[in-house]
Amino acid sequence: MIFLFTNRLACGDNALLLKIREASLAGADYILLRENDLSDKAYKDFALSALQMMTGTETDLVICHRDHIADELKLKKHNRFYDYKNDSFTVSIHGEEEYKKINGGLFFYSPIFPSKCKPGVKEKGLFFKKEGMIALGGVTLDKLKLLDGIDHIGVMSEWLETDNTFELIRNYKISGY
């Protein structure tokens, strides 16, 4: 499965909405609406715009760190470990102890590789492979061959920076994600 994180500051509001449409048409499984700097009203409005762009596709929108908006819109939730609840669809964790406390399910583990989003943060590598892991951080099309045994990927920078979102996501799908 492919999980895409948004960051409209990397490409602009309108460009991001077009990228969401292209990624959805190409078969991305989930788009996580990150946008931490927005007010609740602006975030909800952006979520509604994203949902419009995803109309007619099988891609799901996931709300990050704003459970009340996810509940209102009846969407899946992503939370940080310290905000984790049993109804969180995905959660970000940072090690074995946190993994033991999440009762299974899908979780992001990052950064796997050096990442533009977290410059200077030491990569974790692939020593922590567990069922439900979504590899995030520095994941690019040319590094997929290094992810042997990892069934799910999370991507932010590469899909936001590419000129051809549809082709990139199709190539991820062709590669088995």
pLDDT digits (tens, 9 = 90+) for 77-125: 999 998 888 889 999 998 888 998 887 889 999 999 988 777 788 888 8
- Chain centre to alpha carbon of residue 163: 19
Confidence of residue 126 (pLDDT cuts 50, 70, 90): confident
Nearest alpha carbon to residue 33 among 57, 66, 58, 1: 66
| pLDDT, position 164 | 96
| pLDDT, position 149 | 87
| Structural domain count, the chain | 1
Q: Please report the DSSP string for the chain in residue order.
A: -EEEE--HHHH-HHHHHHHHHHHHHHT-SEEEE--TTS-HHHHHHHHHHHHHHTTTSSPEEEEES-HHHHHHHT-EEEEEGGG--TT-SEEEE-SHHHHHHTTSSEEEE--SS--SSSTTPPP-TTS---TTEEE-SS--GGGGGG-TT--EEEESHHHHH-S-HHHHHHHHHHTT-
| pLDDT, position 177 | 95
pLDDT in tens, 22-74: 999 999 999 999 999 999 999 999 999 999 999 999 999 999 999 999 999 99
Confidence of residue 127 (pLDDT cuts 50, 70, 90): confident
The arithmetic mean of pLDDT across residues 8-24, rounded, is: 95
| pLDDT, position 82 | 84
Give the CATH number of the domain where residue 78 resides.
Answer: 3.20.20.70
| pLDDT, position 103 | 79
| pLDDT, position 77 | 97
The arithmetic mean of pLDDT across residues 167-175, rounded, is: 97
| pLDDT, position 118 | 76
Angle among Cα 56, 59, 61 to the nearest 5 degrees reads 110
Confidence of residue 133 (pLDDT cuts 50, 70, 90): very high
| pLDDT, position 19 | 98
The Cα–Cα gap between 13 and 177 comes to 27
The amino acid occupying position 83 is D
Residue ranges making up the domain that contains 59: 2-174
